[in-house]
Amino acid sequence: MAMESRYFKRDISWLSFNYRVLLEAADESLPLYERINFISIYSSNLEEFYKIRVADHKAIADGVAPAEDDESKQEAVELMEAINREVNRQLDERVRIYEQLILPAMEREHIIFYQSRNVEHAHKEFIHRFFREEIMPYLSPVPVNKGVVSFLRTDRLYLAVKLHQRGVEPISPLYTQYFVMKLPYSKVPRFIQLPKIGDNYYLMFIEDIIKANLDAIFPGYEIESSYSIKISRDADIMIPDTANTQEIVETVKKKVKKRKIGAVCRFVYDRAMPKEFLLFLMKAYRINPGELVPGDKHLNLEDLRYLPNPNPDVKPLRKPQPMHLHALDNDASIFRYVEQRDLMLHYPYHSFDHFIHFLYEAVHDPTVREIMVTQYRVAENSQVINTLVAAAQNHKKVTVFVELKARFDEENNLATAEMMRAAGIHIIFSIPKLKVHAKVALVLRRDDEGHKLPGFAYIGTGNFNEKTAALYADVGLFTSNRMIVNDLHNLFRTLQGKKNPTFHRLLVAQFNLIPALNRLIDREIALAREGKKGRIILKMNALQDPAMIERLYEASGAGVEIDLIVRGICCLIPGQTYSQNIRVTRIVDTFLEHARVWYFGGGGKPEVFIGSPDWMKRNLYRRIEAVAPILDPQLKQELTDMLEIQLNDRRKACFVDGELHNVWKSEHPQNEKVRAQYAFYDYLKTKNPS
């Protein structure tokens, strides 16, 4: 068997995950607008996938980017074909779910969302008036000619119109003409609410209002047809490995502005468009057949997250509300609590306010001399950043490592870093050849005489971002363990240029992480070979590294029972002779499962870890990642219970089988009781007595 066949293709595996997201829109047990939101999430995910992953493969297939050899170039071509086949299949399913499930469900709630159907007569005057007053002033039709290429901006929705002049002979070259118009998103909402009729509420796409009024835009013309189109462009920012820190800053500043004009990687069009219309646009915009992706009548369905809910009787999803730990409410000092025992927060079930309060305490505690934090994706108007600025203004030494290579957050991170620097914060920018993905914070203290006091370390699985902390399911550990605090201090010194650091408790990619993982797997293999129980549970976002997959195959062959809870990419193939003891679970629900939690049974003496890395090549070998052991027995049990709850989910959990299918764990998941995210929230409530 060829070695390649032992792994799923990374991008095909990701498409399997995104299809699982789409399936949530078909779940009739969910609130209506939650289902609509999952169509938006699916569509948004697909946009980013094309702009980054597909753009990279296309560049290799087209010879624009270097390939290792001719075989690699051919593989890129074949992978592009496989991706487009699978995406087209999924888009057919999205159309079915949207048109046959979502729209009828809206009508049952008395919300009529006009699509291709004729509007009610009572709305026609409103539509014409709204168009003239609110939309038409912002429309600028641009003629399309084969010989002159006009520019289409990335991800902007355009209306392509085919028409001819009245009274002109069909044989005249002026008979058929083409125009494109950019929809005025910045001026008018995508979705327009129309007057209520009886018990019914009405919504309409802005492009449908424009289509209904094309005669007003092109007087003297007969409108033959009109269809939505858009282009996606390569959005990856390539930074040379040889670039130093200042060159990285300058490259980001320069290239982030060019992202909107990158090479075309996808041309999406209404699949109802006639072939001759499509061929004309392909020639005019120099679109290759491999860049074509047939879409729905209405494109950019990621905008559905902004769809108004006009009916007050349609209730939104009641999400678990973040709880505050009563132990911290009773004891105002998080410092004093963590000096006594480790503290673990589970977002979004626990409030991110606790982390903010931790920083506030550092601002005002006179013993705090230094605060160090990594920032990967920074929220706009961030409370975290505002608190760090307050600390600097309160004469604390504040150091923040800002990763400029965080995709799609480069510009925001750079602007935030410059603001922090102006406030007196010491900024460390990206490291050449490496991306820093660790989610860590450190507080160092001394008394009035300069003697060291216990410091505090925080190691998390998610970004210091209060907005994503309300949406992503993550874990964060506070500890005053001296060895972990010292290790974390060494890590920050390494980010500032220290060579050859030593880590005793913390596992850090580039240094001791891989040897530690191999040791832990070896121990489970040895236990299984001795006839004892070998047990591994790994929760992460993605599993792709062939070396670590082979170690799991080896452990499976030795009899180790392995459960993987992998939300996204999983290149390991379960259910084969070499993986018969491995099961892969995927959970998609209200919150994005983002935590990385690793359990190694140890023959009854388990070791449990949390941290920032997935088991991807990039995380394990090309990034700085931090992983902490959970030393407190109660917290270790808490994480073990969380993993077991997730493995017992029968509502939102699927197995991923050997064909990359999402296979429901229950034949009728809507009727099953165990829904892990809600069950774990209830579990945490029982551990948070008043």
CB 375 within 8 A of CB 464: yes
β-pairing, 662-664 vs 653-656, is antiparallel
Helix, strand, coil % in the chain, rounded to nearest 5:
40, 25, 35
CB 644 within 8 A of CB 619: no
Residue 465 backbone phi and psi in degrees, to 5:
-140, 110
CA distance 77 to 299: 26
CB 182 within 8 A of CB 206: no
Give just the sign of the alpha carbon dihedral 627, 629, 634, 640. positive
CA distance 652 to 649: 6
CA distance 544 to 542: 6
Residues 6+ apart with CB under 8 A from 591: 319, 348, 471, 472, 473, 677
SS3 609: strand
- Reading the block at residue 509, the tokens are 């990619």
- Reading the block at residue 651, the tokens are 């509502």
Any catalytic annotation for residue 298? no
CA distance 466 to 482: 28
151, burial (CB in 10 Å: exposed 0-12, middle 13-18, buried 19+): exposed
Query: Containing H/E element for 197?
Result: strand 191-197
Question: Of the residues 437, 489, 504, 668, which is catalytic?
Answer: 437
CA distance 442 to 634: 23
- Reading the block at residue 569, the tokens are 């990419």
CA distance 625 to 438: 4
For the chain, how many residues are written? 690
- What would the DSSP string read from start to end of 349-375? TB-THHHHHHHHHHHH-TTEEEEEEEE
Residues 6+ apart with CB under 8 A from 683: 641, 642, 645
* Pick from 450, 446, 454, 444: nearest CA to 489: 444
Residue 129 backbone phi and psi in degrees, to 5:
-65, -45
CA distance 405 to 122: 53
CA distance 342 to 127: 61
- Residue carrying structure tokens 């006179």: 366
Q: Which residue type is seen at 303?
A: D
Give just the sign of the alpha carbon dihedral 563, 566, 567, 573. negative
CA distance 33 to 518: 45
CB 369 within 8 A of CB 446: yes
* Pick from 143, 148, 137: nearest CA to 161: 143
Residues 6+ apart with CB under 8 A from 311: 109, 110, 111, 201
CA distance 596 to 620: 13
CB 206 within 8 A of CB 190: yes
Residue 527 backbone phi and psi in degrees, to 5:
-60, -45
CA distance 231 to 269: 9
Residues marked as catalytic: 437
